[in-house]
Amino acid sequence: MDATITLNDGARMPRLGLGVFLVSDVAVCEASVRSALRGGYRLVDTAAFYRNERAVGRGIRGSGVPREEIFVTTKLWPSDYGLDRARAAIGASVERLDCGPIDLLLLHQPVGDVIGAWKAMEEAVDAGTVRSIGVSNFTADDLDRLLAVARIRPVVDQIELHPYWQQPGLLPVLARHDIVAEAWYPLGHGSRELLAEPAIVAAATVHGKSPAQVVLRWHLQRGFVAIPKSTDPAHIAANFDIGDFALSADEMAAVDALGRARPMQRIPRWVMSLARFARPRPRP
Ligand SMILES: NC(=O)c1ccc[n+]([C@@H]2O[C@H](COP(=O)([O-])OP(=O)(O)OC[C@H]3O[C@@H](n4cnc5c(N)ncnc54)[C@H](OP(=O)(O)O)[C@@H]3O)[C@@H](O)[C@H]2O)c1
């Protein structure tokens, strides 16, 4: 399997990366990014909201891996939406990451002045400060509203996606628009229940792999991009070591059959809309 996927704007994005949500200790964040990149990862997923963009940038610069081989994603938070605020916020993320153009910039949530922010993101693509743009947590209706006015189509929708929640309604919509599904919570946020599922443990035993490796392999074989978070060097290495086996059609079907009717994380829309008022304050 190719290590990258081609986005609808022609850019190539690694299929597997490191997520750094909730990695609040900046030294740990920097070390995790460095160790992942030295171990072969080429995609790092952060956000202004995670307050660790500076640490991610230091990890990238300290890794010794040429910058042009690395794909860095960050996200705008709703308090920075609207044309003028988003222009300033994009500049601030570029400054904090301090590693040249952002490879992929996402709208973190579908609330607030999404359209104004998208225009600023399109401008940033034109100016070359951002290479590709996409969205996160967008439903089919959110996408329709954006696609009606967007000059540049989103390349990805980063969404909750794992064997327990397979987004049955949204995936066909993304496929129709050639938008890649990128999985957050790829390991179900480290769910012990998920990693102990008999179908997953059985496949792990057959292939001599861990349950987490089986779940990540399932993501890749379903065509998703996955960004597991870890600060444990052994987990970081293991999560990337999934290129030497393949799940059979029966094993894939057994994991597919774990799908449930609801996501794990359910934040009501009105609560999420309060994000417009909570501006993240970056750490050093
Ligand atoms: N766009 C959004 O709204 C949004 C929302 C949530 C997340 N995200 C992104 O998605 C990324 C991943 O999501 P997530 O961090 O919430 O969940 P996750 O990657 O599904 O799970 C992370 C948890 O799994 C554990 N883990 C990692 N590798 C493991 C392994 N090999 N064996 C056993 N446990 C393992 C980690 O602990 P250790 O650190 O101890 O390994 C951590 O507790 C985030 O970091 C972020 O970049 C985006």
Task: Identify the residue with better confidence: 267 or 141.
Answer: 141
229 secondary structure, DSSP code? B
Across all residues in the chain, what is the average pLDDT? Answer: 96
φ/ψ of 11, rounded to 5, equals -70, 155
Mutate which of 187, 197, 231, 264 for ligand 1 pocket (most atoms within 8 A of beta carbon): 187
Q: Kindly state the percentage of the chain with pLDDT values over 90.
A: 93
Q: Which of 47, 4, 11 is nearest to 155 (CA)?
A: 11
pLDDT surpassing 90 at residue 150: yes
Report the candidate in 167, 239, 163 with the shortest Cα–Cα distance to residue 200: 163
With a cut of 80, say whether residue 206 has pLDDT above it: yes
The whole-number average pLDDT for the span 64-88 is 98
Asked if residue 191 has its Cβ within 6 Å of ligand 1, the reply is no
- What CA–CA distance (Å, rounded) separates 159 from 135? 9
pLDDT band at 179 (very low <50, low <70, confident <90, very high): very high
In the chain, the percentage of residues whose pLDDT exceeds 70 is: 100
What single string gives the DSSP state of each residue in 190-252?
T-HHHHT-HHHHHHHHHHT--HHHHHHHHHHHHT-EE--B---HHHHHHHH--SS----HHHH
Distance CA 262, CA 269 (A): 15
Residue 161's nearest CA partner among 132, 194, 112, 130 is 194
Any idea where the domains of the chain sit in the sequence? 4-189+219-231
Among protein residues, the one with the nearest Cα to ligand 1's atom 47 is 19
**pLDDT for residue 242:** 98
What is residue 218's predicted lDDT score, i.e. its pLDDT?
A: 98
pLDDT greater than 80 at residue 278: no
Bigger pLDDT: 284 vs 51: 51
Tell me if 163 CB under 6 Å of ligand 1.
no
29 lines ligand 1 (CB under 6 A): no
Catalytic annotation, pick one of 41, 50, 81, 185: 50
Q: State mean pLDDT over 173-185.
A: 98
Identify which of 94, 144, 155, 93 has the alpha carbon closest to the alpha carbon of residue 114. 144
Is 50 catalytic? The answer is yes
Q: What is the CATH number of domain 4-189+219-231?
A: 3.20.20.100
Which whole number is the average pLDDT over 234-261?
98
In eight-state DSSP terms, residue 257 is: T
Query: Which sign, positive or negative, has the C-alpha torsion 105, 107, 113, 114?
Result: positive
